[in-house]
């Protein structure tokens, strides 16, 4: 994939995909609250940290080299 198309895809991922993923992560924590009750803050923080890092792994190749000059 050339740099121009990777830049376009990265913009789509950040503007559309990331907000959808954030809504999914918050919904997951809300489901955990409904199912098992309110978790300690450290567990919620750990869930958010893991989900915050996890979303980027499938898109490593798209985001690599985006900020470099051509």
Give CA angle at 13 (9, 15), nearest 5°: 115
Give CA angle at 26 (20, 32), nearest 5°: 135
| Residue 43 vs residues 11, 25, 33, 40, 47: alpha-carbon distances, Å | 31, 14, 11, 6, 6
Provide the pLDDT for residue 1.
82
CA–CA separation, 58 and 10 (whole Å): 12
Provide the pLDDT for residue 66.
83
pLDDT, one tens digit per residue, over 10-54 is: 999 999 999 999 999 999 999 999 999 998 999 989 999 999 999
**pTM to 2 decimals?**
0.79
């Amino acid at each position: 994939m050339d740099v121009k198309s990777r830049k376009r895809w990265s913009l789509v991922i950040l503007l559309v995909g990331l907000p959808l993923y954030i809504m999914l992560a918050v919904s997951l924590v809300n489901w955990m609250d409904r199912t098992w009750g309110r978790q300690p803050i450290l567990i919620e923080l750990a869930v958010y940290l893991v989900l915050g890092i996890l979303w980027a792994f499938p898109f490593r190749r798209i985001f690599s080299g985006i900020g470099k000059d051509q």
